[in-house]
Amino acid sequence: MFKLKVNNIDVEIEEGLTVLQACEKAGVEIPRFCYHEKLSIAGNCRMCLVEMEKSSKPIASCAMPATEGMNIKTNTPLVEKARKGVMEFLLANHPLDCPVCDQGGECDLQDQSMFYGIDKSRYKENKRSVPEKYMGPLIKTQMTRCIHCTRCIRFATEVAGVPELGAIGRGENMQITTYLEKSMESELSANVVDLCPVGALTSKPYVFEARPWELKKTETIDVMDAVGSNIRVDTYGWEVKRVLPRINEDINEEWISDKTRYACDGLLNQRLDTPYIKYKSGKFDKASWKEVYNIISDKIKSKKNSMICGISGDLVNMETLYIFKEFFSKILNSKDIECRSDHFYLNPEKRENYLFNSSINGIEESDFIFLIGTNPRLEATILNARIRKSYLKNKTKILSLNNVGNLTYPYEHLEGNTDIIKEIIEDKHVVSKIIKEAKKPIIIIGQSVLVSKSGKYIFEKIKTYLFNNKKISSDWNSLNVISENASTVGSLDLGIYHNIEGSNQVLRNLEDRKYEIVYLLGQDSLNFKKENEFIIYQGSHGDKGAGIADVILPGSAYTEQDGYFTNLEGKLQKAYKASYPPGDAKEDWLIINELSEIINQKKLFKNKDELESSMLNYLNLFKEKNLSGSFSEKNNLNFVSEKMIVRDNDYYYSNAIARASKTMFNCRKEKKIFKSTGTEG
């Protein structure tokens, strides 16, 4: 720690900070365009000029290291004159098209010109004109506005790890462009829209949709994957116009994936807004809520409880899951409920068996990362960006069991079969030594492993191996399972499964045609061919589940109801209502509550508050009970020698909302065109 002065205020700072950061510690805001906390220092806009004692000219505070005894002035006439000069140069070529620019109202250049701009320009020459660049279906360019801050280039290179942006030309003729003017391929590409301080890069799907002051802003949680990114949903009336990131250093920092940002237009398409009944002709017809409730009630009352099962989906909030469980338990007296749409292995004895135990933030502390049957770039994009950050920061050694393509960071890969895992566990492989010697190793197990024939063997043996080598303790837990869906961890916490030795018993019974009534709660991923089953579908979109249903109950999407979600590392987060469901659609918990009243003449809960309170009490008891558990080693595990294949993840079509999105369709189409050209190397 050392001291310096900022505007005659004594400031104590740590070593390694810049003058700009020191000024911010003193509570002084420094204008900037090129500087960003998460990016490397460029020092090319010069807007952050300050006066330093004994310096003959103003210095760029973003690039100057702070040292002991410095005397910095930020509000002198010299500083003001210098900043005004910089602003005049920036505006010399900038088109004054604020009224038609989507950045208007949120533009750094606009804000700074209010302080340091002048009402007229001395620049009489013709302004430069830069042709537009093609950057794909997400990013609209107006490159004449560009001030060459290079934030977008640095983000693509450093954070996204796909160096697809660069600069050509020099000085005034410099242009930012993609190589060969092709679409940006990174799943984080649209973060450059947030980073751009001027409006050169704007959101193509959002173009001319609304002004920021017209939008209602709601802070909530993303459900496109299991990471639980913190987001802000902006709505205009009923419509969700855009999704933006919120800062949360422990989870998503200040980035979000392209799917999180742009799948929101799927909330407007293929929506279920009224109940439907399928008649013998095979056609759906609109019905009232009373009609569908009575049909379901009559069907349920006519069947044995053992003939009824319920399967929940990947976007369902925890309140709905809890009342769903209570409905089966108290109304139907049944335990045949499940959250898994495939046969992945599950050991629910301890909560740590299905969590990302090292935490997302903990990735930066690791010194060895081993990926087993997972492609984090597609399964959890933000988590993958954190792995890249760990590599850049610590030179972390990264190993993958499979070659899964470009993960945005260098890694070594093994042959990808279960025999190698067996060798590692038995201390017969070089990786065994690496794990033992590592202080904070991270082993990431994907669902592709857990669905394999050896899934149980691999998971249990790896867990035992880590425990025996003291890599699972109260200080550090190296065992990590990467969930693919937002509802997975919350469902497992609430006990939405019928588990026999880790297998999915409900799905086995369903495949054996043991059920006559199937209740699909937002479940659109089930690979199931209907025969004579009576299928109830409750959800927000007319997707796969609705296609095989006999009765459709229109529910709400994640932006249209309050609800809790638990992310892959076990953090309980609340999503808030930003909009309201269309037509006659209702909140999901309310549908199940009303159906309970029709069947049993009594509601399960009086209101949402009672439901929420009951669910949170259940979770607290579950977590307390979980803390007292001890390690238990499983015996009689069957090993199967097989090729470990990482499942092909259709990134842009991973759920019902994404599949209804026109933007995701365009991204998917662009990706396929790109691959077909053979230009990806």
For residues 462-477, give the mean pLDDT. 92
The pLDDT value given to residue 201: 94
Percent with pLDDT over 90 in the chain: 74
Give Cβ neighbours of residue 52 (< 8 Å, ≥ 6 apart): 19, 58, 59, 64, 70, 71, 72, 73
The DSSP secondary-structure symbol of 119 reads S
- Top-ranked range on mean pLDDT: pick from 476-490, 618-632, 638-652: 476-490
Q: Which ranges of 167-317 does DSSP label H, i.e. alpha helix? A: 191-195, 258-262, 289-301
Residue 680 pLDDT greater than 50, yes or no: no
Task: Give all strands (DSSP E) within 173-321, no chain letters.
Answer: 175-178, 201-203, 216-221, 230-236, 239-245, 276-278, 284-286, 308-312
Residue 297 pLDDT greater than 90, yes or no: yes
Return the pLDDT at 672: 67
What is the pLDDT, as a whole number, of residue 628?
Answer: 59
Q: Quote the pLDDT of residue 673.
A: 59
Among 568, 608, 571, CA closest to 588: 608
The per-residue pLDDT of the chain, averaged, comes to: 91
What average pLDDT score do residues 130-141 get?
Answer: 92
Label residue 566 left, alpha or beta by phi (over 0 means left) and psi (-120 to 50 means alpha).
beta
Q: pLDDT > 70: what percent of the chain?
A: 98
pLDDT of amino acid 679: 45
Q: What is the DSSP string of 315-379?
A: S--HHHHHHHHHIIIIIS----EE--SS-----TTSGGGGSBTT-TGGGGG-SEEEEES--HHHH
pLDDT computed for residue 676 by the predictor? 44
Model pLDDT, residue 181: 79
Mean pLDDT of 160-168: 91
User: The tokens 């989870």 sit on which residue?
Assistant: 251
Q: Give pLDDT tens digits for 488-531.
A: 999 999 999 998 888 899 999 999 999 999 999 999 999 888 88
Tokens of 579: 């909009």
Average pLDDT over every residue of 290-294: 94
Q: Which has the minimum average pLDDT: 105-119, 572-586, 599-613, 653-667?
A: 105-119
pLDDT digits (tens, 9 = 90+) for 565-575: 999 999 999 99
Tell me if 470 sits within 8 A of 397, measured CB to CB: no
Say whether 561 sits in a helix, a strand or coil: coil
The yes-or-no verdict on residue 227 having pLDDT over 70 is: yes
- For the cut 50, the answer to whether the pLDDT of residue 681 exceeds it is no
Binned at pLDDT 50, 70 and 90, residue 32 comes out as very high
Q: Which residues contact 278 (CB under 8 A, 6 or more apart)?
A: 284, 285, 549, 550, 551
The per-residue pLDDT for 629 is 59
Q: Is the pLDDT of residue 291 over 50?
A: yes
Orientation of helix 608-627 relative to helix 318-326, angle to 10°: 90
User: Is pLDDT of 677 > 50?
Assistant: no
**Helix, strand, coil percentages for the chain (3-state, nearest 5):** 35, 20, 45
Query: Read out DSSP for 571-605?
Result: -EEEE---S---TT---HHHHHHHHHHHHHSS-S-
* Mean pLDDT in residue range 200-205: 94
144 vs 90: CA distance, rounded Å:
12
Stretch among 152-161, 249-258, 341-350, 631-640 having the lowest mean pLDDT:
631-640
CB 446 within 8 A of CB 379: yes
**Residue 148 region by backbone torsions, left for phi larger than 0, else alpha for psi between -120 and 50, else beta:** left
